[in-house]
């Protein structure tokens, strides 16, 4: 049983999602604004927070602001971002603030439940769109990787392969079969990429984020 708090400013969406989630997920509470969410997460400390990217209240920072305010809890509480679209613009800000993955609001209850379980067990949830963005931001496609010497600013050959397959729409299990590795190894690679996405100061990434006022 995974305990969850749903943070979204639309009551219809919250109740719809709540009724759609599997029996494996227990919803502890709901919050509609940044301030409500920060208080509720601190008092309930759920395993996973389903966090809308766009939220009213607080200083206007939306989901990323909730993450920054709850930074002390990040090793106990995992955040899964929910976004109305799967454009990188919406998502990279919350990922860099500490979210463990994201899922679009159009996803079915079963998909959300699976993603919640994955995030709760410490894995990252990557979509094809986000994988494509990572390949772009780390220069993996343009072949300019060698120019960067810091470990955190570049993807290993294996990580690139994994990202490429995820971008092609492969599930973790299919990636594992394709590359003759275990699912656990795939998950390790994805988590490593997520960490790099969060910590890298790679020029393209920061410039990209600055340009869109995400930092």
Partner 1 sequence: MTTSRPPLLRSRTAVIAGVCTGLATHLGWRLRSVRVWMAALTLLGGAGALLYLWLWVLVPLESTTDEPPRRTAPVAALLVAIGAVAGIVAISAMPSSDDVATSALVGMTLALGIAVAWNLILDRTDAGRTSSYGWWVRGVAAGVFLIVGTVALASRPAAFNAFLGVAAVVLGIAVLVAPRVVTLWTDLQASQTARVRDEQRAEIAAHLHDSVLQTLALIQNRAGASTEVARIARAQERELRDWLFTGSAPVDADLAQELRDIAAAIELDYAVRIDVVAAGTAFAANPALVAAAREAMLNAARHAGGDVSVYLETTASAIDVFVRDRGPGVALADVPDDRLGIRESIIGRMARAGGSATVGAGASGTGTEVHLHLEVV
Q: Which residues bind partner 1 (CB under 8 A)?
A: 9-10, 12-13, 16-17, 20, 54, 84-85, 104-109, 128-129, 131-133, 135-136, 140-143, 164-165, 167-171, 173-175, 177-178
| Closest to partner 1 by CB, 20 or 35 | 20
- In the complex, least distance from residue 75 CB atom to partner 1, rounded to whole angstroms: 30
| Closest to partner 1 by CB, 35 or 136 | 136
- In the complex, least distance from residue 19 CB atom to partner 1, rounded to whole angstroms: 10
Q: Closest by alpha carbon to 193, among 169, 157, 168?
A: 157
Give the C-alpha distances (Å, rounded to integers) separating 113 from 59, 61, 90, 109, 119.
30, 26, 21, 6, 10
Q: Closest by alpha carbon to 145, among 70, 64, 202, 81?
A: 202
- In the complex, least distance from residue 17 CB atom to partner 1, rounded to whole angstroms: 7
Rounded to whole angstroms, the Cα distance separating 6 from 2 reads 13
Token couple for 161:
């392969």
| Closest to partner 1 by CB, 76 or 212 | 212
- In the complex, least distance from residue 13 CB atom to partner 1, rounded to whole angstroms: 5
| Closest to partner 1 by CB, 44 or 61 | 61
Question: Following CA atoms 157, 136, 103, 122 in sequence, which dihedral angle do they give, to the nearest 10 degrees?
Answer: 30
| Closest to partner 1 by CB, 16 or 122 | 16
| Closest to partner 1 by CB, 29 or 128 | 128
Give the C-alpha distances (Å, rounded to integers) separating 71 from 35, 43, 67, 99.
14, 14, 6, 10
- In the complex, least distance from residue 173 CB atom to partner 1, rounded to whole angstroms: 7
- In the complex, least distance from residue 214 CB atom to partner 1, rounded to whole angstroms: 15
């Amino acid at each position: 049983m995974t305990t969850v708090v749903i943070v979204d400013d639309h009551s219809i969406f919250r109740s719809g999602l709540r009724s759609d989630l599997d029996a494996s997920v227990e919803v502890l509470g709901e919050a509609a604004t940044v301030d409500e969410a920060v208080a509720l997460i601190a008092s309930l400390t759920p395993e996973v927070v389903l966090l809308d990217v766009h939220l009213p209240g607080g200083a206007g920072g939306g989901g990323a602001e909730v993450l920054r305010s709850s930074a002390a809890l990040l090793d106990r509480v995992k955040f899964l971002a929910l976004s109305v679209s799967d454009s990188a613009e919406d998502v990279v800000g919350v990922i860099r603030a500490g979210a463990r993955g994201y899922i679009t609001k159009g996803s079915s209850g079963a998909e959300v439940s699976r993603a919640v379980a994955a995030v709760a067990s410490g894995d990252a949830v990557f979509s094809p769109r986000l994988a494509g963005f990572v390949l772009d931001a780390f220069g993996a496609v343009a072949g300019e990787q060698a120019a960067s010497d810091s470990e955190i600013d570049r993807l290993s050959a294996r990580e690139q392969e994994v990202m490429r397959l995820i971008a092609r729409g492969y599930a973790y299990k299919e990636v594992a079969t394709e590359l003759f590795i275990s699912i656990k190894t795939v998950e390790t690679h994805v988590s490593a990429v997520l960490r790099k996405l969060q910590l890298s100061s790679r020029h393209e990434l920061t410039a990209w984020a600055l340009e869109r006022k995400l930092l």
